[in-house]
Amino acid sequence: MPANLQHLKKIKVAAVSYLNTKPLLYGIKRSPALLAQMELVEDFPAKIGKMLVDNEVDMD
């Protein structure tokens, strides 16, 4: 029986939208199960680094 995860907070994940990350992002964006558990933020590396330091995202 699958766990009911609706009450859990979504994980904020930051990713750089570069050519080498396109396959990963493609898969994530087309997976309703993943998107139900996470919030995906795309930005440039310096911004993502600042977001990590400021605790605005959980992982990159």
pLDDT digits (tens, 9 = 90+) for 7-52: 668 999 999 989 999 999 999 999 999 999 999 999 999 999 999 9
Determine the Cα–Cα distance for residues 30 and 37; give it in Å rounded to an integer. Answer: 13
Of 2 and 43, more confident: 43
For residue 39, is it within any domain? yes
Domains in the chain, number: 1
* Reported confidence tier of residue 6, pLDDT bands at 50, 70, 90: low
pLDDT for the residue numbered 17: 84
Residue 12, number of CB atoms within 10 A of its CB = 16
For residue 4, is it within any domain? no
For residue 48, is it within any domain? yes
Q: Tokens standing for 37?
A: 């558990």
For residue 33, is it within any domain? yes
Using an 8 Å Cβ cutoff, are 60 and 14 in contact?
A: yes
For residue 1, is it within any domain? no
pLDDT at position 5 over 90: no
Q: Tokens standing for 38?
A: 């996470």
Whole domain around residue 40: which residue ranges?
A: 11-52
